[in-house]
Homo-oligomer: A and B are copies of this chain.
């Protein structure tokens, strides 16, 4: 595995050298982790003309949630009086004779950027931009294997919840129980704050669990994901509580299901982001629900739960093979509730079987 990180760093270094920066300072945690194999809290990565160095504010604990730093990197633990590791990295770069250092202007605050610049007035700070994020877009098979395990864990946690008694329990409790089950099944933690929404709350993206209790006749929508070795996934499902769904519930469910399927089926290498969004969105639009649909109908996922690409009407770009994305349309009717269906899939060539569904819990409308 170790070689992978060296190759990733080499690609980034080449790219920056081509634009005139011999040094690169990576501070965004997911980017540090991608390039270094591990990102202890607060660590920054310096790619120099010489050795690559991971600067840590304290000794890494070996916690699997942080990952394990690549052994080919020099690991420097700073004394507790050293202050910001980014400033220490800039000093190191200057000492090594670097004249131009590319930094992540979308991650460093103005105050931190100024502190980094002040250690060496003649050190030019360039903007690395989203270079690492772009490199992270297409995943290798080891990354996808981690995401597959994360998805299995989420499927298991959700499956177990469905077997338990739900009526009378609060959204908060169901969310906490899901998170406990993720950990039981080997997750390093939840991939994001678990959302459980009942009755009038159901179908809202990102609803934060409240004290509302599950009632007979409710829609229950759940969005949950696991973090496994840093890689994340996302699954969202909507169920009906009680024996027989109402007609409006069946109708709304079928609509969102059709939209979600259209999105999934449009995933292919070369498909424009906006076309995938359009495939999903037009079905909801045509049924008169266009206005309430979220700005995105899906997004990339990997070391962060919300990565590029964005599947949105104005998004520019085309899918590649081995890009994992979510497809997650929803409709919420104020006062009544609604439906969200959300899968994590990996874009694959037609010859490789088309899009690979990672989250395999059934999308039939279950009455629980």
Task: List the interface of chain A (C-beta within 8 A of B).
Answer: 61, 63, 65, 80-81, 105-114, 127, 172-173, 176, 179-180, 183, 204, 207-208, 210, 294-295, 314
Contact = CB atoms under 8 A, between A and B. Distances in A.
- A-B interface, 7 closest residue pairs, ranked by CB to CB distance from nearest: A105-B110, A80-B295, A106-B111, A105-B111, A176-B180, A110-B113, A63-B208
A20 to B, nearest CB: 19
Contact of A210 (B63, B105, B295): B63
A274 to B, nearest CB: 14
A108 B105 contact: no
Contacts of A176: 176, 179-180, 183
Given A80-B295, A176-B183, A183-B176, A208 B111 contact: no
Contacts of A112: 106
How many copies of this protein are present in the complex? 2
A108 B112 CA distance: 10
B111 A109 contact: no
Contacts of A61: 204, 207-208
Contacts of A179: 176
A176 to B, nearest CB: 5
Nearest to A314: B81
A63 B294 CA distance: 19
A204 B172 CA distance: 30
Contact of A172 (B80, B127, B172, B183): B183
A22 B182 CA distance: 50
Contacts of A295: 80-81
A48 B203 CA distance: 37
Nearest to A182: B176
Contacts of A204: 61
A237 B16 CA distance: 49
A172 B64 CA distance: 13
A177 to B, nearest CB: 8
A46 to B, nearest CB: 18
Contact of A180 (B63, B110, B111, B180): B180
Nearest to A193: B189
Nearest to A57: B295
Contacts of A208: 61, 63, 65
Contacts of A113: 110
Contact of A106 (B80, B81, B106, B109): B109
Given A61-B208, A81-B314, 19 more contacts: A61-B204, A63-B210, A65-B208, A80-B294, A81-B295, A105-B111, A105-B114, A106-B110, A106-B112, A107-B109, A108-B109, A108-B110, A110-B127, A111-B127, A173-B180, A173-B183, A176-B176, A176-B179, A180-B180
